[in-house]
Amino acid sequence: MSVPVRNYTPRRVNWGSSGESEVLTAHTGELDLLQQDQLFEEIAWADEAREPEVERLDASQIAVAVDQASMIYKIRSSSEYRNSQRRISRQLGRITGSGWAHVPALQDLSFVVRQGESVGVIGTNGSGKSTLMKLLTGKIRPTTGEVYATSTPVMLGVNAALVKQLSGRENIKLGCLAMGLSPAQVAEKYEMVVELSGLEASLNLPLKSYSSGMASRLQFAIATAVDPDILIIDEALNTGDAQFRARTKRRLDEVRQQAGCVFLVSHSLGTIKQMCSRVMWIEQGRLLADGDPEWVIQQYQEYTEHKSNDRLRSAQIVYDRTLLQLGPVRIDFDGGTRPKRAG
Ligand SMILES: Nc1ncnc2c1ncn2[C@@H]1O[C@H](COP(=O)(O)OP(=O)(O)OP(=O)(O)O)[C@@H](O)[C@H]1O
């Protein structure tokens, strides 16, 4: 059975005051026309409905499929804000049922990740990376669209519970049991976890004597004991030294070889380059780039450099130019091949 994935490629780009426009197709050399100093006035989808390209995929190779997923958080507005606006808000509230604010976090994301891929996820603060990971684990449901996963992804964050009063050894055993391993499986995995943590010399000490980097390493080592099909790592590797990263890479390679896939969310571009075969850049809630790590990271660095020097227009140009190169994906499933929904 197979899952067709459709690529809609045409987009219309208008730039300059002359109102020139040209339909560009993603993945063509025409994009060279767009030099960095050109001003983009507008980027919009081409209105013309073109026959989509259909790429045939084997469903057994798919780990995760995200289909036009958007996420809007609905939160209560702060009381100070409500108080300062009381008179107006009371009147408005009568009409709109207010007191609630809507925070858009992700907009219309579609992509497919295959078994064996290691995907780096980058983006500036608040761009939507963690929200996407929460969608993948099923912790939250998308406001619109759908997220599918062939098995429940295991999220490894820096906040996994460790007990401060217990030793490293006891934490390994407890942590593995808490993740659902049987005592026999814990015994089987124990040495691997110890080796991966690289903390042999400190394992008899209580956890409260560990540095935050040591604690993160232990968390990481414990979490990878479960051989998850889909592993999500959120920032946990940043604190590790070069030796730890080398060991981690070996373990992640093993996880991938066991037909799994790995998502690594990190602000450490060096770690991402070292570990990942594919990089997604999420910015302002949109999937801006998805592909070769070197290329995506280069665009991202250019963008953040402009931003940090307050060159907002230039940053916007990099944003628009990068978005142009992304071939949007639309997902259709054949009957019976749909993986289960995440969550
Ligand atoms: N529980 C929540 N309720 C309301 N808004 C939220 C919630 N979680 C995240 N947001 C908002 O959603 C947007 C995306 O946040 P998210 O945490 O996904 O970004 P991020 O890329 O992981 O950021 P960072 O790199 O700083 O960790 C932000 O505007 C954030 O304020």
Residue closest via CA to ligand 1's atom 23 equals 126
For residue 65, pLDDT beyond 90: no
Question: From the alpha carbon of 285, which atom of ligand 1 is closest?
Answer: 14
End-to-end distance of the chain based on CA atoms, in angstroms? Answer: 24
**Closest to 136 (Cα-Cα) out of 67, 74, 75, 73:** 67
Cα gap 201→220, rounded to integer Å: 17
Q: Say if residues 168 and 217 touch (Cβ distance below 8 Å).
A: no
Residue 334: the pLDDT is: 62
pLDDT in tens, 203-217: 999 999 999 888 888
Which residues, 6+ apart, have CB-to-CB distance to 329 below 8 Å? 5, 6, 7, 110, 111, 112
Residue 154 is encoded by which pair of tokens?
């295991």
**Residue 301 Cα, ligand 1 centroid: separation in angstroms?**
21
Ligand 1-lining residues (CB < 6 angstroms) = 73, 75, 103, 105, 123, 125-131
Residue closest via CA to ligand 1's atom 28 equals 126
For residue 166, pLDDT beyond 70: yes
For residue 92, pLDDT beyond 70: no
Residue closest via CA to ligand 1's atom 31 equals 126
**Residue 132 Cα, ligand 1 centroid: separation in angstroms?**
10
Residue closest via CA to ligand 1's atom 27 equals 125
Dihedral, CA of residue 185, residue 187, residue 190 and residue 192, to nearest 10: -70
Domain boundaries, the chain: 59-78+98-153+264-325, 168-227
Question: From the alpha carbon of 133, which atom of ligand 1 is closest?
Answer: 18
Residue 339: the pLDDT is: 66
Cα gap 275→335, rounded to integer Å: 35
Cα gap 109→285, rounded to integer Å: 9
Identity of the residue numbered 115: Q
Choose the weakest-confidence range: 96-100, 208-212, 318-322.
96-100
**Residue 130 Cα, ligand 1 centroid: separation in angstroms?**
7
Residue closest via CA to ligand 1's atom 18 equals 128
For residue 336, pLDDT beyond 60: no
CA 86 to centroid of chain Cα atoms: 39
Choose the weakest-confidence range: 89-93, 253-257, 331-335.
89-93
Residue closest via CA to ligand 1's atom 29 equals 126
Q: Of all residues in the chain, what percent carry a pLDDT higher than 90? A: 31
Looking at residues 56-65, what average pLDDT do you find?
A: 76
For residue 162, pLDDT beyond 50: yes
pLDDT in tens, 117-152: 999 999 999 999 999 999 998 889 999 998 988 888
For residue 48, pLDDT beyond 70: no
**Residue 310 Cα, ligand 1 centroid: separation in angstroms?**
22
Helices and strands: H and E segment counts in the chain: 10, 15
**Residue 163 Cα, ligand 1 centroid: separation in angstroms?**
28
Residue closest via CA to ligand 1's atom 24 equals 125
Residue 75: beta bridge partners?
Answer: 101
For residue 28, pLDDT beyond 50: no
- Which residue has better confidence, 145 or 22? 145
Cα gap 47→14, rounded to integer Å: 13
pLDDT in tens, 261-285: 889 898 889 888 988 999 999 999 9
| Domain spanning 59-78+98-153+264-325, CATH architecture | 3-Layer(aba) Sandwich (3.40)
Question: From the alpha carbon of 71, which atom of ligand 1 is closest?
Answer: 12
Residue 203: the pLDDT is: 93
Q: What is the DSSP string of 283-305?
A: ETTEEEEEE-HHHHHHHHHHHHH
Residue 77: the pLDDT is: 65
**Residue 120 Cα, ligand 1 centroid: separation in angstroms?**
18
Rounded to whole angstroms, what are the CA distances from 107 to 173, 263, 307, 330?
41, 19, 22, 14
Q: Which residues of 12-37 are buried (b: 16+ CB within 10 A; e: fewer)?
A: ebebeeeeeeeebebeeeeeeebeee
Structure ipTM: 0.97
Cα gap 309→321, rounded to integer Å: 19
pLDDT in tens, 224-251: 787 778 888 876 556 667 777 777 777 7
pLDDT band at 185 (very low <50, low <70, confident <90, very high): very high
